[in-house]
Amino acid sequence: MSGAARLLARVSRVTLAASLVATLVASLVASRALAAQRTPADKSRVADSTVHARRGIIGALRKADSARASDRDASRYDDIFRKYSKRWFGSNFDWRFFKAQGMAESELNPTARSAVGARGIMQLMPSTFQAIATKRSEFRSIDDPEWNIAAGIMHDRWLWTVWQKRVPDEERHRFMFGSYNAGEGPILRACLAARSARLSEADWRSIEQVAPKIDRWRYRETLGYVRKIDGNYARLRKTR
Of 75, 95, 116, the domain-final residue: 75
Instruction: Say which CATH number the domain at 203 has.
Output: 1.10.530.10
Q: What is the pLDDT of residue 62?
A: 56
Number of domains in the chain: 2
pLDDT per position as a tens digit, 15-25: 544 553 355 33
pLDDT per position as a tens digit, 78-99: 999 999 999 999 999 999 999 9
CA distance 73 to 60: 20
Residue 207: CB atoms within 10 Å: 27
| Residues 69 and 85 both lie in one domain | no
CA distance 38 to 235: 54
| Residues 66 and 153 both lie in one domain | no
Of 50, 75, 100, the domain-final residue: 75
CA distance 44 to 26: 28
| Residues 96 and 61 both lie in one domain | no
What pTM did the predictor assign?
0.71
| Residues 151 and 219 both lie in one domain | yes
| Residues 21 and 136 both lie in one domain | no
Reported as a pLDDT band with limits 50, 70 and 90, residue 8 is: very low
| Residues 178 and 59 both lie in one domain | no
| Residues 130 and 200 both lie in one domain | yes
Of 75, 109, 135, the domain-final residue: 75
Torsion angle in degrees (nearest 10) through CA of 219, 117, 177, 77: 140
Q: Is the pLDDT of residue 214 over 70?
A: yes
| Residues 48 and 124 both lie in one domain | no
| Residues 148 and 229 both lie in one domain | yes
Domain that holds residue 40: 1-75
| Residues 117 and 2 both lie in one domain | no
| Residues 112 and 194 both lie in one domain | yes
| Residues 229 and 153 both lie in one domain | yes
Reported as a pLDDT band with limits 50, 70 and 90, residue 160 is: very high
The mean of the pLDDT values for the chain is 83
Bigger pLDDT: 134 vs 74 = 134
